[in-house]
Structure 1
Amino acid sequence: MTLDQFDASVKTMLTSVTTMTLATSVDGRPWATDVYFAANGYELVFFSSAASRHCQNLLANSACAATVHPPAASWREIKGLQMEGMAEPVASVEATAHAFMVYFAKFPFARDLTLNPLELAKKAFEVSAHVFRPARIRYIDNALGFGTRFAIRLENGVPVGPPERERAADR
């Protein structure tokens, strides 16, 4: 698989699937939760309550993992992304505005919150924008053969080298 093919497969997945499972851990206690996300390149933007367990975990330990996959009715249809990286709240006003733009582009229904300024003001204090930045992405596609997996490493959101096919011993 070439980098262009890998990139196209990953971007198709990130565009077509609406939720990711975010896995966090603190003090040896793992936690996973599903969140809506929108992709900005390889970075994944999501909004969550600062009081939620996963956001509290991220404040203590920003290292995390995420999966993105469509439903599959048989093993032949299994495909998806397994990612490891870091997630953190978006810090600046400009970055938050950009996060909203990326999110609204994927989820136009979320714009309805902006129609009621009072409701928007309430929600603004309850949720905050976060970004997941993968350091490694593994693409799985059983349509290419059972257990077919390709992986890339990323530095600052840019692939480092071509995708590598993983062998069973690498998993």
Structure 2
Amino acid sequence: MDDILKHKIQTLLDQHRTMQIATLRPDGWPQVTTVGYANNGFEIYFLCGKDSQKASNLAHDNRVSLAIDDDPAQVMEITGLSMAARAEPVDDPAEGENALRMLFQRYPDQTSMPGPLPTPADVRIFRLTPTVISLLDYSKGFGHTELVTC
């Protein structure tokens, strides 16, 4: 991947803080939800409840698809990322603490969570490693994408 494309992808990852993630239910149907995320380069972290459907789905099949974008006023201003990735649970306490720190830095005004902020023992933290990234940039033409294999 060339440096310009890598920079564009990194910039979009850094600019946003929510993504839509599709996991596969045991019956084969995809399930899409919106989650907050933090990234360290192209590694993406998110958390969910230990007993959530997402955690259950990922225990069954760690393949995910995700989208990161915004909602511009004009169709031809759409930019974003679509990725295929593998989700791995974060079991290392130090990595989990770091992931939580990064996640809550993305939400400095967080006030709506009940009780104290969660610890790695309270939630399920996942690390996403992309296998394919599609950079969407409609300013270059309707539906324009640049595909990158990682």
Find the counterpart in structure 2 of residue 161 from structure 1: none
Find the counterpart in structure 2 of residue 146 from structure 1: 142
Give the whole-Å Cα distance in 2 for the aligned partners of 1:37 and 1:109: 15
Amino acid at match of 2:16: V
Residue 96 of structure 1 and its aligned partner are, at CA, apart by 0.7
The two structures, once aligned, show a CA RMSD in angstroms of 2.2
Does the aligned pair in 1 maintain the 2:55–2:124 contact within 8 Å? no
- Structure 2 gap segments, 5+ residues each: none
Count how many residue pairs are aligned between Structure 1 and Structure 2. 148
Query: Aligned match of 2:116 in 119, 142, 145?
Result: 119
Are 2:149 and 1:129 aligned? no
Residue 65 of structure 1 and its aligned partner are, at CA, apart by 0.7
Amino acid at match of 2:52: S
Find the counterpart in structure 2 of residue 53 from structure 1: 53
Amino acid at match of 1:22: I
Give the whole-Å Cα distance in 2 for the aligned partners of 1:111 and 1:132: 26
The structure with the larger Rg is 1
Amino acid at match of 2:130: P
Amino acid at match of 2:5: F
Give the whole-Å Cα distance in 1 for the aligned partners of 2:54 and 2:140: 34
* TM-score, scaled relative to structure 2: 0.87
Give the whole-Å Cα distance in 2 for the aligned partners of 1:51 and 1:103: 20
Give the whole-Å Cα distance in 1 for the aligned partners of 2:122 and 2:128: 19
- Structure 1 gap segments, 5+ residues each: 155-171
Give the whole-Å Cα distance in 1 for the aligned partners of 2:48 and 2:82: 21
